[in-house]
Amino acid sequence: MSRYRALLAAVLLTAVAGCSSGSSGEPAVIQGHPPIEAAPPTAPGSPFWVDPESDAARQVKVWEKQGRKADARVLRRIAQQPVAIWPSGSDPRPAIRKAVAGAAKDGRTALFVAYNIPHRDCGKYSAGGADGVEGYRGWYGMFAEAIGDARAVVVLEPDAVAHMVDGCTTADHHAERYQLLAEAVEHLKQLPNTKVYLDAGNPSWIPDTSALVEPLRRAGIDKADGFALNVSNFQTDTSVRAYGVKLAQRLDGKHFVMDTGRNGEGPLKSEHDQAWCNPPGRSLGTPPSVRTGDPLIDAFLWIKRPGDSDGPCRGGPSAGTWWPDYALGLARRARV
């Protein structure tokens, strides 16, 4: 493992400049961020915290009590992996404090998604978000307060930038959104041990990476650690990696992370407009790891929680609701 990858596995907080420098091929480490020894991983290459009280973990216990031992054993493929915490409600602090306390106890890094931008999801399945500018400022302030000095990774506002690029978020909200995203990046990056990745959609959504460059810059990507791709989607590792490298090149070598939680079979080939919403026949993808084999990819992460519904389509419950049957299908089909 390279020196950079070892640092990333340890804390996922060391600031890096560009892709690589010098003959060693290792990124330059910014002064003031010394190496820290890596904690033993929960799985090969993973420094992230596994929530022992996740929906999947609780479901395993329920099925074991019901005598569904085979199903419980299969579902452990999800329950035993680190999955992002999506704090909900007007006060995200209780969920965050619980996670950072658990992660600190285990010597791990907590993984979060900040998802509360005003006018969220264009009023669709995941509609909602903070009440205006001041409401969002208060919310991301509480988010940062709860993390404090803990080791954490934050994926910031899935869909928020891409929805401006594709026109779903109307133009009258753009200036406000850019301002709030840039403020949130800057505020979270004041935390000493937190890495921030601004969401940038996926290759099937905004095929032309050049269309994302200026929007990401306005949203604060230059102060973030990088960008996130494929959040809640099913694009293959190969296509996401190629897309991410192209976008990184346009962003002066910014690093990125990939959501691999449900992309083991790739995207649904038909019903394009609803291919992202609880598609049948999908499976778990590459397990969470910082051993990515690519200097630009900081980690494979399970950002969307495998088993949470995408919305009330194909018989699913409301967006974000635990759906054990769908989770079981993802786990059964998993090849890794």
Catalytic residues: 121, 159, 310
88: three-class secondary structure by DSSP: coil
Residue whose C-alpha is closest to residue 224's, from 259, 205, 245, 200: 200
- The answer to whether residues 144 and 137 touch, using CB atoms and an 8 Å cutoff, is no
- The answer to whether residues 49 and 12 touch, using CB atoms and an 8 Å cutoff, is no
What distance in Å separates the CA atoms of residue 294 and residue 193, rounded to the nearest whole number?
Answer: 23
Quote the radius of gyration of the chain (alpha carbons, Å): 19
Beta strand 16-21 pairing with 26-29: antiparallel
Tokens 């989770």 label which residue? 327
What distance in Å separates the CA atoms of residue 184 and residue 26, rounded to the nearest whole number?
Answer: 29
Instruction: Output DSSP code: residue 173.
Output: G
